[in-house]
Each structure stands twice: as C-alpha cells, then as structure tokens.
Amino acid sequence: MIGFKAKVFSAAMTAAALIAPAAQAEFINIATGGTSGVYYPLGVALSEIYGENISGARTQVQATKASVENLNLLGAKKAELAFALGDSVKAGWEGNAEAGFPKPLTDLRALAAIYPNYIQIVAEKDSGIKTIYDLKGKTLSVGAPASGTELNAREIFKAAGMSYDDLGKVEYLPYAESAELIKNRQLQATLQSSGLGVAFIKDLASTHDITIVAIPKEVVEKIGAPYVPAVIPAGTYQGQTEDIPTAAVGNVLVTRAGVSDETAYQMTKLLFENLPKLEAAHSAAKNIKLEHAVDGLSIPLHPGAERYYREVGLIK
C-alpha cells in the first residue's frame, strides 16, 4: 500500500514537473497587417527573434487589417504586440469612436516609435493624376474601412479641401487587391500608408506605367502632428524619376499593460539588438533608430521598455 502511494506521489510529481514549464510559457501574438505590406514581414522577423531568445516564449504572427484592428486586439487581450500608426494610437487611447474605437484603450503601452509610414498614392499613368487634386472624379481605393490607412486618407482629403464625395468612386481595399484592380484597369489609383519600397508598388511598377502622386507640403502642414511633410525619393520605384512630396506618420510598436515587465523589456532590447535581421526582412526597418525610440509617443511607455531605455541612456 505504501509502495502504491509512493508511486502515485512520484507520478504526480513527474506530471507537475512536465506541466510547470508549459504554465510558465509566455504566449506572444504579434498583430501585423496584410501579407503584402511592411508590418507582416517585420512581424515575422520579430516572431523568430523572440521565439529564439525569450525563454519559454511561444510566438505567433497574425495578419490583420493593421492599425485599428491591431489596437482593438490589444484592448481585447488577444495580442501582446502590435504595429500601429501614430495617429491611430492616439485615437485608440482617446476612444475616438469615428476612428473605430468605441471606448478608450487605456491599457495600451508603447514599446518603441519605429519607422515612418509614407502616404503613397499610386495612379495608373494614363489617368493623368499627378497631384491629390487630380483625383477629383477618379476611382480610388483608400484601404480597408476604418483602417489606419483609411483614417490617413480622410485627414489628407480634409486638409486638401476635398472629401470622398469629390471622387468618381471609392473602394475600400487592402494593398494587393488594389494593385490587381489597377492592373486590370478597374481602378485608377490607390492611397496606401506604408514604409518606402513596399512590395505591392514595386510589383505594380514592374509591369505597369504608374505615377506616384504628390501631396503638397502645405496640405500636410494643415493637418499638423503627428503628420509631417516628407519626400518619396526619386528611384524608390521603377519609372519614378523625381522626388515626390507627401506626408509621413510615425509607426509605433504597441503592447498592453498586462504584458509582464520582463517580457516587454526583452521585446524592446531584442528589437534594437537585431535591427540587421529586421532590415533583411524589409528595407523600411533601416529607418528604425534607437535615438528616436521615444519620439512623439502619445501613450505611456511600458515599464519594461522604459527600463531598457534607462539602461542604454536614452532616458535619464
């Protein structure tokens, strides 16, 4: 009888030993964007970095409609890390219902300001569209409804004294689908918010004559922060022979208050210690700079991220 009890106790202890590591494992779901954008390949790279270097971490990458959906996933505790545009982060924190946030997402915490997104309007060359004002009466895709990109579109049009009513037709489609419609001559232009060198524009430019459409500096200045005037350098895309003025909005890596300080610390540290791997995943990561990691943030830093920035002397 004693031997049986000892065996049962031993088996229970073995089972507990096997269960314990699983209970301690930390799940990190990374909310990104469409697979043809910039967020997704960077999210995949981060997933690999975290999976290999954070003890016990199980990582997953989720393709989404980007900023607004990502922030709401954090709010619902269905993600631990998310990519989002700075203006969407501000709207989420404030609970801007029109922007897609029914209530304030006060659990949002910043890990880092990363690279800027450029508002990139691409038009079929034959359409004759050269500036945002030439879009009047034309067909345009503005990204998924209430996505970060679509919020950008609304702001840009408002500053230019225009609205969707000025367009011939509005489509609410992500990158890849918009490009396909342009290829098939079913759409004249698309407005998308992304890092420079985005795959869908490169692909489109390799098979079609396109125009990168100008957003004048004075239009961007009317919007104000977090938008800043920017330039898409000549040669960014095939056939683009001139610098094109546009708007840029900073991207932010966002987590939530419930993520442990240690995990947030490791995620921040590993981000900046592995920039070459991120750059290999997408060239937009070349613009991720430690010295700008806390610039323009509209939400509090996660304490784990703050610990890292104090260690490296970015925060005194």
Q: In terms of domains, do 182 and 79 share one?
A: no
Of 223, 249, 275, the residue that ends a domain is: 249
Q: In terms of domains, do 181 and 163 share one?
A: yes
pLDDT recorded at residue 175: 82
- The token pair at 185 is 């001559």
Residue 50: which domain range? 2-115+251-311
Of 309, 275, 295, 299, residue with least CA distance to 101: 299
Q: CA 16, CA 12: separation in Å to the nearest integer?
A: 6
pLDDT recorded at residue 299: 96
pTM for the predicted model, two decimal places: 0.75
Does 316 fall in a domain? no
Is the CB of residue 85 less than 8 Å from the CB of residue 67?
A: yes
Q: In terms of domains, do 107 and 157 share one?
A: no
Residues 265-285 have a mean pLDDT of 96
Does 59 fall in a domain? yes
pLDDT in tens, 153-209: 999 999 999 999 999 999 999 888 999 999 999 999 999 988 888 888 999 999 999
Question: Which of 194 and 84 is assigned the larger pLDDT?
Answer: 84
Q: In terms of domains, do 264 and 244 share one?
A: no
Q: CA 8, CA 13: separation in Å to the nearest integer?
A: 9
Q: In terms of domains, do 152 and 231 share one?
A: yes
pLDDT in tens, 3-51: 544 444 344 444 444 333 334 568 999 999 988 888 999 999 999 999 9
Does 209 fall in a domain? yes
**What is the DSSP code (8-state) at residue 47?**
H
Q: Which amino acid is at 243?
A: D
Q: In terms of domains, do 176 and 225 share one?
A: yes
228's enclosing H/E stretch is: strand 227-232
pLDDT recorded at residue 225: 77
Q: In terms of domains, do 152 and 95 share one?
A: no
Does 276 fall in a domain? yes
Residues 116-121 have a mean pLDDT of 93
pLDDT recorded at residue 24: 56
pLDDT recorded at residue 18: 39
Q: Is 128 exposed, middle or buried (0-12, 13-18, 19+ CB in 10 A)?
A: exposed
Q: In terms of domains, do 179 and 238 share one?
A: yes
Q: In terms of domains, do 87 and 177 share one?
A: no
Of 264, 246, 262, 135, residue with least CA distance to 190: 135
Q: In terms of domains, do 219 and 264 share one?
A: no
Does 236 fall in a domain? yes
Is the CB of residue 229 less than 8 Å from the CB of residue 220?
A: yes
Residues 118-136 have a mean pLDDT of 96
pLDDT recorded at residue 145: 83
- Whether omega for the bond prior to residue 229 falls within 30 degrees of 0, making it cis, is no
Q: In terms of domains, do 104 and 71 share one?
A: yes
pLDDT recorded at residue 12: 41
- pLDDT score of 124 more than 90: yes
Arithmetic mean of pLDDT over the chain? 90
Of 224, 249, 274, the residue that ends a domain is: 249
Strand partners, 57: 26
pLDDT in tens, 205-243: 999 999 999 999 999 999 887 888 999 999 999 999 999
Does 180 fall in a domain? yes
CATH code, domain carrying 201 = 3.40.190.10
CA angle 275–236–231, rounded 5-degree value: 90
Does 19 fall in a domain? yes
Residues 245-270 have a mean pLDDT of 97
- Rg (C-alpha) for the chain, rounded Å, is 22
Does 86 fall in a domain? yes
